[in-house]
Chains A and B, each alone.
Chain A
Amino acid sequence: MPVINFSNPIRDSSSVSAYSKKVITEILKKAGISQTTITSAGRTAGDQARIMYENITRHGVAHQKKLYGQHGDKVIDEYSSLQAAGKTQSQIIAGMTSKINKIGPGKVSKHAADPKKLNVVDIAPSSINLALRKKFEAEVRKDTRVSKFLTPPGDPAYHIEIPQP
């Protein structure tokens, strides 16, 4: 039975449902892959707000605004206005969470979704033997349980979205 590893098991292992693990395991088995590594999984709007808050405090508003597109910039602006108003960390994160929900979580991070409805996982291409990558890609594309699949070189990782039953 193929093994699914997690780069960050504490953060991500509970975000991937038993159903999604079954889908991925079956794809791996069909592709002849014995193990792979999930580098990132789904996160709630609150998780996304906390990550963005930490990155802003670590790198600054200007640095983060250079990275994000228009939707992320609105969340950063929300941070700036709440910070200027003297709000506490938890109040700022709550405000950013509310902003993310208003914009639409999927516009601020492709990983931000309701895990009960959609599981989003990234698989490290480096965790799959080069000779088996085409077979893996073909098996994912064939699987109707996968709603969206992004591959290198357009994306750095194998990005897989699995709607939940």
Chain B
Amino acid sequence: MMITIKKLKQVFIFFTLALLMCLQPACASKDCVYDDTYFKASRYSNNKLIEKLNYNKAENTAQIITRTGDLISIKHWACNHHGIHAVMLVGPYPSDDNLDIKKHFKTLSNIVLDKTEADIFNDFILKKDMPLKQKPVTLKIENDQYDEFYITYTSVNDSIILEIKVYKG
């Protein structure tokens, strides 16, 4: 019961933050360099890793509950820049289940990144040592195709928070 209340509390905080993240309206597409039709609900709705999808086309955002009960908030940019920012809340789980950061990042990348970005990302994390720490760890993925491509992760009580941000202009 304690875990359920804790989880509900986290869901509330997570989705409130996700909402605040996305208050600005999306650009009018006629003035945009990039095309936001690329960001479609079908991109997520056919993914077997996803249990629930809350998709907002007007804001180019999505909130997801995965099959394992983890939460993902996504902001997609397709106007002056093209890119994605995804935050994943994993857990709460017993601490041993949280240790495999790479496994959780792979789940996140399989849901939010396109093939090109996922290939770069998976190559990167394969070579990295990624111990879980209380303090946020940020790792930059060097690639001249992107203005920024980085990941951040940290542990909070019995949960971990993962973040991927990638964009180009």
Contacts and interface: CB of A to CB of B under 8 A. Distances in A.
Interface of A: 7-8, 11, 39-40, 55, 59, 63, 66-72, 107-111, 122, 124, 126, 150, 153-157, 159
B24 A156 contact: no
A155 B147 contact: no
Contacts, number: 80
Given A40-B147, A111-B169, A126-B148, A156 B34 contact: no
12 contacts: A40-B169, A55-B145, A66-B35, A67-B35, A109-B33, A122-B81, A124-B148, A150-B80, A154-B25, A155-B77, A155-B80, A157-B81
B33 A157 contact: no
A11 B77 CA distance: 24
B81 A67 contact: no
B interface bracket (residues with beta carbon within 8 Å of A) = 20 to 34
Interface string B108-151: 00000000100000000000000000000010000011011010
A108 B150 CA distance: 26
B82 A67 contact: yes
B42 to A, nearest CB: 13
Interface of B (DSSP majority class) = mixed
B35 A156 contact: no
B95 interface: no
A157 B147 contact: yes
Contacts of A153: 21-24, 75, 85
Contact of B35 (A8, A59, A68): A68
Interface string B52-85: 0000000000000000000000010111111101
B32 interface: yes
B47 interface: no
B148 A157 contact: yes
